[in-house]
Structure 1
Amino acid sequence: MTNPRSGGGKTARFDLINRAEGMGAQVWSTSAEHDATSLARLAVQEGAEVLAVAGGDGTVSAVAAVAAATDRPLLVVPAGTRNHFARDLGLDIRNPVSSLSALIDGVPTRVDLGLVGPHTFVNNVSFGPYADALLEPGYREDKARTLASVAPDYLSGRQCVEADVDTPQGTVQLPQVVLVSNNPYHIATPRYLGRRFTLTSGLLGGIVLKRPTDMPPDLLRHLRGELLRRQPGPSTPGDAVIAWMADTITLHGGRRQLRAGVDGEPVTLPLPVTCEARPGGLRVLLPRDRPGIPREPRPGLPRAPRDY
């Protein structure tokens, strides 16, 4: 499966369809009539032994859900814009063609998946300004401008995530940002900020930005500064940012629904929302010749107690 719109048309720019077909693969492209999920299910019905996907994290997670449900291995071709999952698999995101070699002699392995309600996520679930931006008309055409249009209310403290989230420090009410990742993000050093050095910890990563009385003028700079300031030790009650690892992360409150971004796709979830880790939930095929995952420069986050 390929999403021809992902990454500004990387499928066409790297001639991925012809290259894959030349290696014996049958390629189907998403369209207004057929999304990635329906195409993946059709491929399974027609006997596909491997599901390959070229696109961004949203397209990848849709096919990954079908692959996991049918116990098919997934081959990821990084043809999106950011390619977070492909990067953290150790793939060469600058050369999507190189991943096609896994069709011939791919290395099988297992990695974790995240679940939130009926949705699978390979990267993250976000609540707050990014989730709101995804629902705005024109987001796909101009992501930066759309995000900038919804951010001021969060920056000023007039808007927040309309739910409470359970953390190792207790319940945080109406936070500014909640980010739940499939395996924890590295936040200790600027160079690797946002990387995942493992996809097999069996845990989610949680990051919550509290809603302070006086909102800092630059929310993103404040978030980054708080994360870097407090590493490598655990969060303390006075921190504006709480970061931790856990099997499940739950949001709850009085509202019936909550907007979220699941791997960059807008969804509306009924409250309470529970994010869960599925350890080893996905089989993947990796090319033998790949950059790999760099060594983590500093220890990661402490894990929340099991009885939390």
Structure 2
Amino acid sequence: MVLVRLADRPIALPVAVVAVSVATTAGWTALVGRGLGRATAAAVAVAALGGLLAFAGAVGVLSTLVTVGLLAASQGGARAAFGRHRPKGAIVRPARHGVLLLNPRSGGGAAEQHDLVNEAAARGVRVVVLTPDADLRALAEEAADDGADVIGMAGGDGSLGLVADVVRRRGLAFVCVPAGTRNHFALDLGLDRADVAGALDGFEAAIERHIDLGQVGERVFVNNVSLGAYAEIIQADSYRDAKVGTAAAKLPELLGPDHAPSDLRFLGPDGRVQSNADVLLVSNNSYHLHSLGGLGIRSRLDRGRLGLVALSVGGARDLAALLALEPVGAIDRFRGLQRWESPTFRVDSAQPVSIGVDGEALSLAPPLLFRSLPGALRVRVPLHAPGVRVLRPGVRGTVRGLIRVAAGKQGA
């Protein structure tokens, strides 16, 4: 369809490229600018996109919408074709004394929506509901002291990390119940995030395996620690209630033309000291990085390595390049992106460092010492869990893999 449209109107492609470039540049300027400059840039971005739509005409818009729909269908079909894989583990017996710690406020009240208290009781699991002033770590320690052999947490990823730390130190097993907002950890464990109550079957006969945890200072994390622009944004008191507005207010200060470089010093993949990262991400095992949408996916949680990503966006031109690489699954070719792995990592600074630990805002005194804790946590997942989604390696790798699937062979 795209080729037919280009043959019919060959001028469409260069006009579209110019219009999108202008809109991207103006949009970035509006995002990181202030006052009249921000308003003017926003108007230019809207005008560029409006002009593109006017140029395309009704037929062009319809073709564009159909093309976008076909691309979405292709993405969904490819994901289903590649399927999932189930990490190896041992089948274990039901918990003798299971305890579920439950945060009723997480995920917009997901615990109540899925009736987790009664669902857990039906499985013989004791439920401890958190109150606003509860000490989660102390409650987990108390459950262990009372003889729990399996402890679960129904809440956000930050809460999961706190409980997982207690569980691994006490030599117990852990159950993840995806009752938070995004539930990235549950995704990478291979759970069905839509079947919240079904995750409680981890207390029944289940598959148990050892996975890694990450640690910064004395704080354990299950997903990642962010430093730089994002970490500064989530420090604001208004972030929880107004994420978009807070980000819009902070970005000019953090990434605008007059912003001061972040004081984060670390050894890059070449062993040299670097200090120019706008965003620095330290994760418990590496994320898939062929696309921005893949940043929430890890195919392994047991490699004993920290995943390290440093991103530097110099301005509108860099942003345009990054957005151009995104549709073809090639953001790892962006010149401002570096990625590598290491069992340990150190970040130095002349002042306290703002960080986001599994999405929760903290400030730590430097130096920040990160390390992987290989095989530190025994985690149980239900026998019916769908497994970890198979990752697709960019456009070329996806095409080759789909051909193999169509031929009845393994796609990866």
The answer, yes or no, to whether TM exceeds 0.5 is: yes
Matched, 1:209 2:311: yes
**Counterparts of 2:279 and 2:245, CA distance in 1:** 19
Structure whose alpha-carbon radius of gyration is higher: 2
Q: CA RMSD in A?
A: 2.2
Match among 334, 356, 378 for residue 261 of structure 1: 356
Match among 265, 268, 286 for residue 167 of structure 1: 268
| Matches for 1:1-308 after TM superposition, within 5 Å | 1-157=101-257, 158-169=259-270, 170-189=272-291, 192-210=294-312, 212=314, 215-216=315-316, 228-229=329-330, 231=332, 239-255=335-351, 257-298=352-393
TM-score, L = length of structure 2: 0.66
Identity of aligned residues (%): 35
Between 53-62 and 22-31, the greater mean CA deviation after superposition = 22-31
The superposition leaves residues 46-93 of structure 1 with CA deviations (integer Å, 9 ceiling, x where unpaired) of 111111100110111111111111111110000011100010000010
Runs of 5+ consecutive residues of structure 2 not aligned to the other structure:
1-100, 395-412
Give 3-state SS (helix, strand or coil) of 1:175's partner: coil
**Counterparts of 1:285 and 1:271, CA distance in 2:** 35
Alpha-carbon offset, residue 223 of structure 1:
5.2
TM-score, L = length of structure 1: 0.87
Aligned to 2:63: none
Runs of 5+ consecutive residues of structure 1 not aligned to the other structure:
300-308
**Distance of aligned partners of 1:67 and 1:150 in 2 relative to their CA distance in 1, 3 Å threshold:** same
More relative contact order, 1 or 2 (CA 8 Å, 6+ apart): 1
**Counterparts of 2:291 and 2:277, CA distance in 1:** 24
Tell whether the 8 Å contact from 1:160 to 1:177 is kept in structure 2 after alignment.
no
**Counterparts of 1:144 and 1:106, CA distance in 2:** 40
- Report the number of matched residues: 290
Alpha-carbon offset, residue 163 of structure 1:
1.6
1:290 maps to a residue whose letter is A
Give 3-state SS (helix, strand or coil) of 2:181's partner: coil
Give 3-state SS (helix, strand or coil) of 2:346's partner: strand
Give 3-state SS (helix, strand or coil) of 1:18's partner: helix
1:153 maps to a residue whose letter is E
The superposition leaves residues 214-235 of structure 1 with CA deviations (integer Å, 9 ceiling, x where unpaired) of x23785x765656854647xx9
**Counterparts of 1:122 and 1:66, CA distance in 2:** 13
**Distance of aligned partners of 1:191 and 1:143 in 2 relative to their CA distance in 1, 3 Å threshold:** closer
Tell whether the 8 Å contact from 1:209 to 1:223 is kept in structure 2 after alignment.
no
Alpha-carbon offset, residue 159 of structure 1:
4.2
Alpha-carbon offset, residue 193 of structure 1:
4.0
**Counterparts of 2:209 and 2:370, CA distance in 1:** 24
